[in-house]
Amino acid sequence: MKLLKRFVVKKNERGLLMSEGDFVSILEPGQYSRFDWKDRLAVTTFSLQSPLFDHPLAQYLRGQEPALVEQHFEAMDLAQHEAGLRFEDGRLVELLPPDSRRLYWKGQVEHGLQRIDLNQGRRLDDELVVRLSRPGVAGTDLVLLALVPAFHVGVLKIDGVVAGLLEPGRHGYWRCGSQVAVEMVDTRLQALEVNGQEILTRDKVSLRLSLVANWRYTDVLGAHGQMSKPVEHLYRELQFGLRAAVGTRTLDELLEDKQSIDGSVTEHLLAHLQGSGLEVSSLGVRDIILPGEMKTLLAQVVEAEKAAQANVIRRREETQATRSLLNTAKVMEGNPTALRLKELETLERVAERIDRISVFGGLDQVLNGMVSLKAG
């Protein structure tokens, strides 16, 4: 067994000399020789590339060896209402949470700490937001970074309470013990579809309807202050308005005046969305779908109605034709010349349809049944 042990601590390292697991001293870079005839000594080395001293002895050194802590470590202790920005050689490298108690090895870089009082507000300044938007900083889970696009606003909620509106751009907030969220809201005109609504009419006919509404926010902060999910609230009100409009009308009334549904739903929304921060500029029923058997019945009804209308028109035309013939007969009854002209007109019409005419007994017999027509 070797009685003399040799330990080496490299220039970018620090060492803890332990005797049977108990702390003895901190070793700076160099070569060390110790008599250890009972094999009790051991050295644990730490690379300064990872300067955080995360070791069970950290608390002991703080309490029992303050001079060593002052010599070898940079202590970064934060209160419960503070967050920290840790720098190495002036470069931001890490965000520290409230109530942190950390030791960092000295010697490799110059450490710095900037304290942030969370009681003064959770908003990050613009320069820090830009820096955190780039990679290379640890602990970014302590902050919320939000990019609000153009034509949008961000609804800031802290612990479920609406705290304000964010304009388009980059924003950042400390989380640190609170739930911080940003909900993006499009302020432009939007379309909301209510599809496949199965509704019974007043005469118990089941219809499937679809409705489209164009809407926008008039007061984003007011809408989110009153409702947790304004769009879902608007969707439900459109459903309620559509059901009320259809359920109070018969199928015939709906088919005769589809626009009545639009008007009824609009009146419902005006009454129930007043002061909600939402505005519906226009809406309309897109589809009304009937059950299969109802389509067949309606087709039969329409067919019967059209047949009846055709029959009435046919009878009307026949009546008018009969009346015209009667009037013509009355004119010819007292006017032989008109009768003769009519006879000649009839003969001309007949002659147009045949190739050859044979007349026996004179032309007067043609119209008295004595004409023999022979088609060539």
Q: Where are the domains of the chain?
A: 1-47, 48-120, 121-185, 190-290, 292-322, 335-376
- Choice between 123 and 302, residue whose per-residue pLDDT is larger: 123
Write down the pLDDT at residue 196.
82
Helices and strands per DSSP (H, E), number in the chain: 9, 20
Give the predicted TM-score (pTM) of the model. 0.66
Write down the pLDDT at residue 147.
94
Query: How far apart, in whole angstroms, are the C-alpha atoms of residue 70 and residue 86?
Result: 18
Position 372 confidence tier, pLDDT thresholds 50, 70, 90: very low
Looking at the domain that runs over 190-290, which CATH code has it been given? 3.30.479.30
- Mean pLDDT, the chain, rounded, equals 84
Please enumerate in sequence order all residues whose Cβ is within 8 A of that of 168, keeping only pairs 6 or more positions apart, or say none: 148, 149, 150, 151, 152, 153
Write down the pLDDT at residue 298.
58
Return the sign of the alpha-carbon dihedral for residues 353, 358, 362, 366: negative
Write down the pLDDT at residue 207.
83
Write down the pLDDT at residue 178.
87
Asked if 108 and 51 count as a contact pair (C-beta separation under 8 A), the reply is yes
